[in-house]
Amino acid sequence: MSAHEAHVPTRDEVIAGSDRVSSRTLRLTCIVLAAIGTLIFLIGAFTGNDRAWRALLFNWLYFTTISSAGVMFVAVQRITTARWSRSIIRFLEGYVAFLPVAFVLLLVILLGRHHIFWWSNVVSEIPEKRVYLKPSFVFLRTISALAIIVALSLWYIYTSVRLDVGLAPEAGAGWARGLRERMRRGYRDERREIHSTHSLQGKLAVWLGFAFVYGWISLAWDLSMSLDPHFQSTMYGWWVFMGGWVAALASFTIITMAWRKYLNRYDLITERHFHDLGKLCFAFTAFWGYLTFGQYLVIWYGNLGEETHWMRLRLIHPWMGLTLATVAMMFVIPFFGLLSRAAKVYLPTMVIFALSTVFGLWFHRYLEVYPSVYGTAVAGVPFGLWEIGIGVGYLGIWGCCYLAFMDAFPRFRFTLMTSPFRDEVQVPVNAKTMEPLPAHE
């Protein structure tokens, strides 16, 4: 082997040790957190506490946008036929496990709409919004949008996992044994499966991209922007889902570090991966800053009362301190912190800047919801047991879903890491005849 040839691990080398069951302590911790958060919400719901429902909404926006954006980033890897992420992308695919739960929680939120949304209790004075925010119309849009996103996300990750399950020895959590058996049915030869999966994913990834963008714009308008009776911004939807995107990348970076250490796979997850993830975190932090300032600039320059009041409310007492802290966590700290290569590849600093984004988005979601609901009618920021307790519950539920997925399926995309046909997908072929497709197709 020459000095310039990279070592390609064998399939057995990749699989060896990668099926280590997740920490029992971590799983138990997630269960306890989920139980605590659920109990706190149920107490609030049965006592008619509005803050419990509002905390349920803003935490839903936080965890669901991150999970959905994580799956969308996986799909983008297919659209761009990326190869750099093959050894780590399964850690992000696990984000899909929360989405079915998020769909159920959306139904719960809509059930308690009277505690959150003004349009559920009062008919709008604005004729256009009277139609658009009619509860039955909102339900149809939100449920349909999320259902399409969840269905396409599950389908896409199913095809990705199936490619590895079909070639892997039977292993994994018992709850998914039947699902793994189903994945193996009809599994053909390796080369044909790689190409047919690649072809199908090419279509799914594009449709998921459309569903993600249009769906989250609609969901952001209906579940977040509509909390203010008069505010409207065409950039709002982009601002919401791109916040989830950058936080998904930041959390993905932290989780990848944790898996590398837990599985002791320093051979497969290298400094190069963290450098690439750091560059992505930096780039999309800059893009989030661009969207934030772009939205603010247009509103400031237009100087229309129905727009400026939304920004002004968050820049006066009692919300100003939290707003400035959120801008610092979402933009100032990670942007200037990740300028250098050293900050990206030195893991302690990368963790600090990634955590800044992860926590920053949580406060971002809080500021989307609470000021619009409470205005200036409160002496201090309403932040305490309900917001933290229910947030902790969401974290526990998300952790339970994620670990269940990771314990059930292969931890690495070993097929595309080790197959002798792995790079044939750079030249598309007809999955039935295996003949190369014309360039225009």
Which tokens hold the place of 386? 């309900």
Nearest-CA neighbor of 253 among 125, 111, 122, 89?
89
Stretches where the chain sits below pLDDT 70 are 1-7, 431, 439-441
> What residue has token string 């800059």?
286
pLDDT at 3: 44
**CA nearest neighbour of 60 among 117, 103, 92, 115:** 103
Please report the pLDDT score of residue 6 as a whole number. 60
Q: What is the 3-state secondary structure (H, E, C) of 79-118?
A: HCCCCCCCCCCHHHHHHHHHHHHHHHHHHHHHHCHHHCCH
* Degrees, nearest 5: CA angle 367-288-336: 105
pLDDT at 439: 58
